[in-house]
Chain A
Amino acid sequence: MDNPAYVPILRGMATDSDILIVGGGLNGPCLALALSQAGLTSTVIDALPVETSDNDRFDGRSYALALASARLLMALGIWEDVKANAQPMLEIKASDGRAGEGPAPFFLHFDHAEIEEGPMGYMLEDRFLRHALLTRMQADPNIIHLPGKRVIAQDTTGPASVTLEDGRTLTARLLIGADGRQSGTGARAGIKRQGWDYGQTALVCSLKHELPHHGIAHQFFMPAGPLAILPLPGNRCSIVWSETHARAAEINALSDEGYLEVLRPRFGDFLGEIALDGDRFTYPLNLTISERFVDDRLALVGDAAHGVHPIAGQGLNLGLRDVGALAEVLTDAKRRGEDIASLLVLERYQRWRRFDTATLAASTDLINRLFSNDNPLLRAGRDLGMGLINAFPAARRSFIREAAGLTGDVPRLLQGKPL
């Protein structure tokens, strides 16, 4: 164990920190940094060792950060570390396509120039965000980072506590599960999950291409599933390509050249020649929602609370909205003198986030079902619908604001304001 922050834990067994965060991905560290601003101390327990999570090699993973998410990173001071590597998304074009036929005549076009807030979002590679979060966490005196540690048991009947694989027990006032869709924290608390499988797998990779993308993101709705093309810095882009489980497995088994051959007719030639940049990934697409997000002395954030189909890049954005909402609820409660771990306080977070999550899950599901269909009637109907949305600037602006995360009851941090 070479973490210098390790020492205080041995000394203060009674209250290691105010908050225990299980999960060292993206939401957990962001929450710890947000709570630190309010003077709350956190211990972040990460199953992955630093060598695995903080790797300079580009592995092909990246995020579509909505403007609101970027604002949260600004408010937490992380943005300045990553902005040089972030690609602004200036326009989004959505169109209906069938492999080999090119896009249908009607397509949706969203331009950031239509709203005053700026770009709708940014593309950011996973490695840069992870590195910035790790650096900030390690420099923060209110945060203890424990990488490479697995939680095997927890107890929230008294003060919250977890037992690590090495037998050590850590205690705090409140336990946070930020440990993803297979959340052990939620499962150990007996919180059930509802899940739906889409019968699809997302193929994810990055590409180098010949021609500049001009900051334009594309979404092609194909019968098998959508293909999203998201601009990265330079002549590079990140793609999320959905196919049926069986077809995705076949494609993934192909060589790099075979893979590109299947992709080319779907992708088109508007960016010139394409080549792979980094690794290829596959993610089965399913939607899972926890029956509740909170319990006594316990709250779930991000995919631990809800894992959504990532067609609009909304997984991380929803997670960061959880982070902003929970940090705000806890900070306000602390300044009022309330017990931050009481169900009375935590239920405010659940009320705030549940509606948003259910709405997004339902609409993402609907869009996917509507567009992943080759029925000619549906196809004509949606082409007409897209044409109509395009014809009305007000409708278009509200779509843009929605995509940028600027609608609804936006947490202070996601407005770029301090807690």
Chain B
Amino acid sequence: MNSAANTVDDAEIAKFEAMAAEWWDPKGKFAPLHMMNPIRLDYITAQIAAEFGRDLRDEKPFYGLRLLDIGCGGGLLSEPMARLGATVVGADAAERNIPVARVHAEQSGLEIDYRHTTAEALAEADEQFDVVLNMEVVEHVADPQAYLTACRQLLKPGGLMICSTINRNPKSFALAIVGAEYVMRWLPKGTHEWHKFITPEELFALIETAGLDPVDRKGFVFNPISWRWSISDRDLSVNYVTASVKR
């Protein structure tokens, strides 16, 4: 691991390492992520298809695209992207996630290049991608601006970055921390630090300063009555996602 330009907070990595082995258990600690994954994938696939003119009804719609999944964890996004034909590099700063993800990809019959590295290290090595997935990572890094600048460097001209995170307001505090970590016990206590959460306005400012053009934004909304996640055009009050392009 290249430690020269490392904006990942060591304490955060330790927390996730403890959870790594449970990534693929749909009823385990990552159950909420598995529940949310279909709409994350719906958003990601629709944005990539629109940006690169692909048809999701095709057999391998993302064939020929080089994609980086930052904070790949157990491969919950890397595997679907590889199945859709993309050439995938999965990067995670938590070393223990890498063998877990590799073993699972092999079981799934997928070829994915999993690496124990960071966005900054990949940028320094001049790696280039058509798509950078940056999902639920920015709220865990020590220096979001430096991190997003590294993400921009990783994109080819015309490349697409998809970035999701959690808003910072009383509702997100209640739902994401008190609700998900304490009441529902969905996530281990201490998974998130509320003061690190980023509002959409702050995120767009960071993305634009990094040199990317935001092209879309949506909310990921959980309905506790139907027990389902959905994508919202307006409600960005807790979980939200944005797509931006390197012109």
Contacts and interface: CB of A to CB of B under 8 A. Distances in A.
Interface stretch (A181-189, A190-198, A332-340): A332-340
A335 B26 contact: no
A337 B83 contact: yes
Contacts of B41: 336-338
A336 B59 contact: no
Given A337-B83, A338-B38, A339-B83, 15 more contacts: A38-B57, A39-B57, A333-B38, A335-B45, A335-B57, A336-B42, A336-B45, A336-B80, A337-B45, A337-B79, A337-B84, A338-B41, A338-B83, A343-B26, A344-B26
A335 B83 CA distance: 10
A337 B57 contact: no
Nearest to A39: B59
Contacts, number: 33
A337 B81 contact: yes
B192 interface: no
Interface string B103-147: 000001000000000000000000000000000000000000000
B79 A335 contact: no
7 contacts: A39-B59, A333-B38, A336-B42, A338-B38, A339-B79, A339-B83, A347-B26
Interface string B54-97: 00110100000000000000000001111110000000000000
Interface string A82-95: 00000000000000
B34 interface: yes
A338 B26 contact: no
Nearest to A344: B26
A332 B56 CA distance: 10
A126 to B, nearest CB: 34
A155 to B, nearest CB: 16
A408 to B, nearest CB: 13
Contacts of A343: 26
A373 to B, nearest CB: 38
A348 B228 CA distance: 11
Contacts of B57: 38-39, 335
Contacts of B83: 337-339
Nearest to B60: A337
Give the bracket for the number of chain A residues in contact with chain B.
10 to 19
Give the bracket for the number of chain B residues in contact with chain A.
10 to 19
Interface string B25-42: 010000000100010011
A359 B155 CA distance: 52
Contacts of A332: 38
A339 B26 contact: no
Nearest to A418: B57
Nearest to B35: A344
Nearest to B44: A336
B45 A339 contact: no
B130 to A, nearest CB: 16
A344 B81 CA distance: 17
Contacts of A347: 26
Interface string B156-184: 00000000000000000000000000000
A344 B59 contact: no
A39 B58 CA distance: 8
Contacts of A39: 57, 59
Interface in A303-349: 332-333, 335-339, 343-344, 347-348
Nearest to B25: A344
Interface in A21-44: 38-39
Given A337-B45, A337-B80, A344 B56 contact: no
Contacts of A38: 57
A345 B103 CA distance: 20
A223 B57 CA distance: 54
A344 B80 contact: no
B38 A336 contact: yes
Contacts of B82: 337
Given A344-B26, A344-B34, A339 B108 contact: yes
Closest 9 CB pairs of A and B: A337-B80, A336-B41, A337-B83, A337-B84, A335-B56, A344-B26, A338-B80, A336-B80, A336-B45
Interface string B177-215: 000000000000000000000000000000000000000
A347 B31 CA distance: 13
Contacts of B80: 336-338
Contacts of B34: 344
Q: Which of A38, A332, A337 has the most B CB atoms < 10 Å from its CB?
A: A337
A39 B108 CA distance: 20
A394 B192 CA distance: 50
Contacts of A344: 26, 34
Contacts of A339: 79, 83, 108
A42 to B, nearest CB: 16
A315 B137 CA distance: 49
Interface string B207-246: 0000000000000000000000000000000000000000
B34 to A, nearest CB: 6
Contacts of B42: 336
A199 B145 CA distance: 73
B58 to A, nearest CB: 8
Contacts of B81: 337
Contacts of B84: 337
